[in-house]
Amino acid sequence: MKKVIVAMSGGVDSSLAAALMKDEGHDVTGITLKLFEDQEKYLEDASKMADYIGIDWYMADYSEDFKNNVISYFTNTYKQGRTPNPCAYCNRYSKFSYLISEMKRIGADMVVTGHYADTAELDGILHVRKADDPKKDQSYFLSLLTADQIKYLHFPHAHRTKTDVRKIAGEYGLQVSDKKDSQEVCFLEGGDYRDYLSKFVPLDYGKGNFILNGRIIGEHKGILNYTVGQRKGLGISYHEPLYVKYIDPHTCNIQLGSRENVFFKKIKAINCNFVKTPPDKIHCQSQNKVQNDRTKMHSGSQR
């Protein structure tokens, strides 16, 4: 038996994870992190599920640190003309740091979550790997976690499908067994990112020009309103569809291009989290976080 802390969002995945841990005979404590405003429904559902399962539960307020860390990263990245990845950033630098801190504070041995992911060792080093269900796999969002964080984690749904989870949750009598899945970015709550950004930065921040083939073809509303690869909503009349190719945060100009002009043969990867130091040339894959598809890439020199 271990003393475990289960991150509970009030949804079916985390609620079942807590029930399974208790069923295995562990000493289980549920925790819900308060990270932003308007989380009352999540807190209420998590508390009710903990009561039903018969485990202790509490809320830990990290909203101020979350604002200074994740929200700041989110807004500043858009101001720099780039598109942020708040979930992956949050999991490493905020959410799992908070959970592990709480785990140690109450004297628990392990952090359990309802993520669809798995862990494995590679040359003695722990890393996150894909769950069995490719449709629900969340390893992408956990990919920045370090081995020192991963050693405390357990994902009970690594080998289950969402259908399995809902079925088992129903057998346990969990009222959230058919609850709708939450949105990808929790603090946006399904809303438009620009509406959220407007709370911190005027949306006309960084107004400038649209540039096509070196010439100005119009003005844009501010760089916060656009992301690389965007086609719709540009407000530009042209004889063919145009896409955002590059956003310059210094001049605030946005370079546009036709479809064939926005594809590249090379990419520059930053903030990589390698399990071990890779060789000079590696075979790798990229994953589209929106469509959750994967495209093989040719091997090339690592820089």
Assigned token pair, 7: 């991150």
Three-state DSSP state, 118: strand
Catalytic-role residue among 186, 252, 272, 284 = 186
Contact status, residue 227 vs residue 83, Cβ threshold 8 Å: yes
In this structure, what token pair is assigned to residue 225?
């309103």
CB distance 83 to 126 below 8 Å: no
Question: How far, in Å, CA of 85 to CA of 62, rounded?
Answer: 20
- Please confirm, yes or no, whether 87 is among the known catalytic residues: no
Planar angle of CA 50, 53, 55, nearest 5 degrees: 60
The catalytically annotated residue of 87, 90, 272, 284 is 90
284 given a catalytic annotation: no
Distance CA 146, CA 153 (A): 11
Longest CA–CA separation in the chain, Å: 68
Pairing mode of beta strands 209-212, 254-257: parallel
C-beta separation of 10 from 42 below 8 A: yes
Closest by CA to 51, choosing from 23, 13, 10, is 10
Catalytic positions are: 90, 186
